[in-house]
Amino acid sequence: MTRKQNDLSVLEERLGYRFRKIALLEEALTHNSAVVGRSRKSDYQRLEFLGDRVLALAIAEMLFQTFPNDSEGDLARKHAALVRNEAWVEIAILLGVGNHLFLGLSEENSEGRHKQTILGDACEAIFGAIYLDSDYATVFAIIDHMWRPMMMKAPAKGARDAKTILQEWAQARGMPAPVYREVDRSGPAHKPQFRIVLELPGMIPVEGVGPSKRDAERAAASVMLAREGLEAGND
């Protein structure tokens, strides 16, 4: 897809923000496969780095203001849930980011517009671009609007993580502990993405992706719990 064919105004409407420098948004949507051999073109990796930090600060501020009685541990637990890659992907899908990506032929042919890692990274870059194009107050307002519904569903005090819930469920049925295997690691050194396969005897394996092995394992456990219709406290 060329820049001429890509109507970014649709994405701007969904964001509720008009860019003064549209080149920033274009950069945020450009995967490195689209810039190979083009030294004057930039991909989204630097903006992704910035957007990740902007979100982390904004979510911390939102939680601090919204939950005045939470302990540091409770706030940290909720924060982790809201800045994980799955949250970015959820927002990217809501915005329709995949429809506006600039991809090289290899990624275009391998369904790159639907890959969670690319969607999450590009979404981070978009918010980094908004910050550069405006200011912190502006990007904070957009993040508050888009993340607040998720924030109100963040883990409650003392909530167990998905790995713990799944392991207890398996043990209660005489099953061995879940096995987590790293099958892939990608992304730049400052922002790695791990892909983990989770296996339990007699069950179809599932995968999880995250910025650390632990996060990817938790993501995989969450997928299996959701697939099996399990929640904390269910037998």
In tens, the pLDDT along 30-50 reads 998 988 655 546 899 999 999
One-letter identity of residue 121: D
Q: Which CATH architecture has domain 8-151?
A: Orthogonal Bundle (1.10)
Burial 126-139 (b: 16+ CB within 10 A, else e): bbbbbbbbbeeeeb
Residue 75 reports pLDDT greater than 90: no
Residue 86 annotated among the catalytic residues of the structure: no
Predicted confidence at residue 232, as pLDDT, reads 43
CATH 3.30.160.20 domain position(s) in the chain: 162-227
Percent of the chain's residues with pLDDT above 70 = 89
Q: Considering the candidates 52, 74, 86, 133, report the single residue annotated as catalytic.
A: 52
Highest mean pLDDT, choosing among 12-21, 35-44, 84-93 = 12-21
Closest alpha carbon to 51 in 122, 109, 3, 1: 122
What's the mean pLDDT in 87-91?
A: 89
CATH 1.10.1520.10 domain position(s) in the chain: 8-151
What's the mean pLDDT in 122-133?
A: 97
Task: State pTM to two decimals.
Answer: 0.68
Element (H, E) at 161: none
Highest mean pLDDT, choosing among 2-6, 117-121, 169-173, 189-193 = 117-121
Closest alpha carbon to 163 in 218, 96, 211, 82: 218
Q: Does domain 162-227 have CATH number 3.30.530.20?
A: no
Q: Considering the candidates 43, 90, 124, 215, report the single residue annotated as catalytic.
A: 124
Residue 61 annotated among the catalytic residues of the structure: no
Predicted confidence at residue 86, as pLDDT, reads 82
